Amino acid sequence: MELEPGLAFGTGSHPTTRLCLEIMEDYIHPASTVLDVGCGSGILSIAALLLGAKSAFGVDIDKLAVKTALANAEKNGFTPPVFDAVSGDLSENVSGRYSVVIANIVADVIMKLTPQAANLLKENGVFITGGIIDPRKDEVEACFAKTGLRFWNTVNPKAGTCLCVKENESFDNNRLRCRGNRIDSVRNMRPDSKSAYIA
């Protein structure tokens, strides 16, 4: 992956970014359509496409971040409509439904955006979040529950990354998992230690 973050967030060095990248390896497949909320440099969208996703769409309130994300995507061979990004509010600029929604931002913003994100998820879609520190976990989980999201998995609670899926009785975790495609640079950025559990 070739990346120039400029002033935008997303270099791959932050623990929550690394953990989101790690989780994405298991939940991105060739049919995946990805929404990247707070896309920053575009690192998560680009990683999703390199992992084989069909398309990715980024949204950020920072116009400079959107410009940076589009430039980085082009450096890696992805241009509209495979990757596109817009600046502004989620509800005003995003429509349709996505199989994966990613939000690597702080807990307060995630909770504010959760009702909108839930409506943008396809059935059995996956909501990957970063930036939720362990003391805020129960609060965020309650917020997810109100919008039909089931708290599914947590990787490294201290770093604050969690994985959620839209509630559905027929959900099959094994059907979603895909380990066939990997990015060496993502694997190399994994932290030395992690903990994982399903709640």
pLDDT tens column, 71-110: 999 999 999 999 999 998 876 788 899 999 998 888 888 8
| Phi then psi dihedrals of residue 31, to 5 deg | -90, 0
Between CA 173 and CA 168 the distance in angstroms is 11
CATH of domain 15-168: 3.40.50.150
pLDDT tens column, 23-46: 888 889 999 999 999 998 899 999
Residue by residue, DSSP assigns 1-23 as -----TTSS--S-SHHHHHHHHH
**Strand, helix or coil for residue 106:** coil
C-alpha 149, offset from chain centre = 15
For the chain, how many helices (H) and strands (E)?
Answer: 8, 8
The domain locations on the chain are 15-168
Between CA 172 and CA 153 the distance in angstroms is 14
Percentage of the chain surpassing pLDDT 90?
A: 31
| Phi then psi dihedrals of residue 76, to 5 deg | -95, 10
Q: Is the pTM of the predicted complex or chain greater than 0.85?
A: no
Between CA 151 and CA 179 the distance in angstroms is 22
Between CA 5 and CA 68 the distance in angstroms is 7
Q: Where is 120: in which H helix or E strand?
A: none
Min mean pLDDT across 16-20, 100-104, 169-173 is at 169-173
Q: CA triplet 187, 127, 140: central angle to 5 degrees? A: 110
Between CA 22 and CA 14 the distance in angstroms is 13
Closest CA to 126 of 71, 199, 54, 176: 176
Dihedral of the alpha carbons of 129, 65, 57, 45, in degrees to the nearest 10: -60
